[in-house]
Amino acid sequence: MSASKSSLASLTLGAIGVVYGDIGTSVLYTLKEVFGSGHVPFTTDNVYGVLSIVFWTLTVIVSLKYVTLVLRADNHGEGGLVAMLALASQSVKDKAPALRKWMLLIGIFGTCLFYGDGVITPAITVLSAVEGLDVVSPAFRKAVIPLTLLILLALFWVQKRGTAGIGRFFGPIMVLWFLAVAALGVHHIAGHPEILAALSPHHAIGFIVRQPGTSFIILGAVVLCVTGGEALYADMGHFGKRPIRVAWFSIVMPCLTLNYFGQGALLLSEPQAVSNPFFHMAPDWLTLPLVGLATMAAVIASQALISGAFSVTKQVIQLGYLPRLQIQHTSTRDTGQIYMPFVNWSLFVMIVLAVVLFRSSSHLAAAYGIAVTLDMTITTVLTFFVIRYGWGYPLALCVAATGFFFAIDLAFFSSNLLKLAEGGWFPILIGGAVFTLMVTWKDGRELLSRSLRDSSIDLTSFLESVFLSPPTRVPGTAVFLSAEPGIVPNALMHNLKHNKVLHAQNLFVTRRAHEVPWIGLDKRLEVQALGSDCWQVVVHYGFKNEPDLPKALELLAGRGIDLNPMTTSYFLSRDIVTPTLGSGMAFWREKLFAAMHHGASAAAEYLNLPSNAVVELGSKVEI
């Protein structure tokens, strides 16, 4: 029992450090943007109304939608938009197949928006923390942008070393952060305890009724208080539902609420503090240490998002929507600790561009929100299909449950559309560009597979003809990789043509990715004997599995196929894609696919093949 409690406490601490960094630092800028926008006249009733809207936004979107409902939609213990997409897709596969294609496109677009969010979040979080120096002294103002860029460079530079070493400090630092923001809030609430009346929803309702136009406009800033809500669901596989829920209700939600209400109390007594209410909460002697703590919290929030970008990219590659990219494992114990150089430095370049382009957290706030709220809306839509088709709940209940959240998500998204010209185009542009790459890769792979099938030879018939007058058999095992089972791999044709030999054992292996997170070892292989010591092998992976082909083929030992690593060779076909005018994709998309195909990392590295046992044979394929 005590061990169980200790494990829960440890996981809860980890969840506070990783899951809640983003939403935990939203106190730095949310009320500043709501009141600093100039849309809300500064009156006592308006302060109460805004605080009430913020509190009930946290309650409805985070506590009810994500913590209570969405966390229930786990895909074999895994969460996140990719896991939700796979779960929803599987749910409608047989019951509403026509919806499946559109659902996949919507879900993949939501995943692409994650990258837009991933650019804005570190930029606005770190920048808003460093802007606290301006409160310390206006003399520091010129140093804000350079210092922000320096911190971001250091953060991205250390990614290749892994975060296992510093990760254990994330939880304690974030707990210190939450306790600090709560203490600041309590200090100011003590001077104006009447501010707690804003907990009542009638203040929010009254504000909306009196000023419906203003209420709609400020939703674009209010949504900043729930940034990072998607992380609750995305990190479920790392920590589990219970620690995430315990962390939210026991630490995060109370501390955030106290701080927001403390900022409200401060604004009632010192309206001039609206320029940066969070840092004005602290006495002068504490402002500089608070800037340091806020910067550490911002770095932790950004780290969680960077790690999330690596994980999501790896899952999307497994699902077949991106080409293979170089993946480096930074921990010998935790397979989830990975580093992807291309993703890392692409994110860094875009974040630097965001900081230099927008130059302040207030301007970045104008760019923030569209991607987040659209992602939230997509999650709600996918949740409907999961609970309706996957769980089989009555239609009326499903519509009522998700319809309520859909209406709220739509209101926030609609409000954020007003910010499209002010900067909202930036994350949408990034998401749209990534979506174009993903869809082009998926469509291109289908065209490539079709082209290979059209020019292919049936494997069984080919082997029968070969063994009518068999070539020389040499000792050892040949593993021929093929995109499609049942067809002759180009590498086999080239090997027979040039080397005129066949190995003693021949495996024709196809890797299959599935829309589930994990596939166990008992279901890893599908084997079909083809005669003459030849076998067709299909290797199955979920989008969270580690694609290690030699390890998977070790499972053949119990099926009468003895593999000796020292005498096993892997034959790969390296296809050179040639775009052609005609049917298929637009010519520019075919050229883009050809470039992506050429730039993909080697299959040998991706499948963890021993480099001294790989033979690559090239061929041209027209699409």
- CA–CA dist 212, 206 (Å, integer): 10
- CA–CA dist 138, 327 (Å, integer): 44
**Residue (of 231, 247, 235) closest to 13 by Cα position:** 247
Q: How confident is the model at residue 63 (pLDDT cuts 50, 70, 90)?
A: very high
- Label each residue of 67-106 as H, E or C: HHHHHHCCECCECCHHHHHHHHHHHHCCCCHHHHHHHHHH
Residue at token pair 């590659």: 317
User: DSSP letter at 337?
Assistant: -
pLDDT single digits (tens) 583-623: 778 889 999 999 998 888 888 888 989 988 998 877 777 77
- Assign domain 11-423 to a CATH class: mainly alpha
User: DSSP letter at 47?
Assistant: H
pLDDT single digits (tens) 95-139: 777 788 888 888 899 889 889 888 998 999 999 999 999 888 888
- CA–CA dist 314, 339 (Å, integer): 10
Is 460 buried (19+), middle (13-18) or exposed (0-12) by CB count in 10 A? middle
- Label each residue of 10-25 as H, E or C: HHHHHHHHHCCHHHHC
Q: What is the pTM of this model?
A: 0.86
Question: Would you kindly state where each structural domain of the chain is located, as residue ranges?
Answer: 11-423, 455-622
Given a cut of 60, whether residue 335 has pLDDT beyond it is no
- CA–CA dist 82, 195 (Å, integer): 41
Given a cut of 70, whether residue 332 has pLDDT beyond it is no
- CA–CA dist 74, 518 (Å, integer): 12
The shares of helix, strand and coil residues in the chain, as percent rounded to the nearest 5, are: 70, 10, 20
Whole-number pLDDT of residue 1:
42
CB 58 within 8 A of CB 254: no
**Residue (of 510, 535, 223) closest to 369 by Cα position:** 223
Is 602 buried (19+), middle (13-18) or exposed (0-12) by CB count in 10 A? middle
CB 31 within 8 A of CB 266: no
Would you tell me how many other CB atoms lie within 10 Å of the CB of residue 103? Answer: 20
pLDDT single digits (tens) 265-278: 999 999 989 889 99
Whole-number pLDDT of residue 514:
85
- CA–CA dist 291, 297 (Å, integer): 10
Residue at token pair 């608070």: 290
539-551: average pLDDT = 90
pLDDT single digits (tens) 510-529: 999 887 888 998 899 999 99
**Residue (of 573, 433, 466, 432) closest to 509 by Cα position:** 573
- CA–CA dist 471, 93 (Å, integer): 46
Whole-number pLDDT of residue 59:
97
Residue at token pair 């068999």: 470
- Give 239 or 347, the one with higher predicted confidence: 347
Instruction: Indicate the angle between helix axes 201-210 and 212-222, nearest 10 degrees.
Output: 120
* Tokens, residue 590: 């075919």
Q: Positive or negative, the Cα torsion across 95, 101, 103, 108?
A: positive
- CA–CA dist 152, 257 (Å, integer): 29
pLDDT single digits (tens) 435-491: 999 999 999 998 888 887 777 889 999 999 998 888 999 999 999 998 888 889 988
- CA–CA dist 590, 602 (Å, integer): 20
User: DSSP letter at 62?
Assistant: I
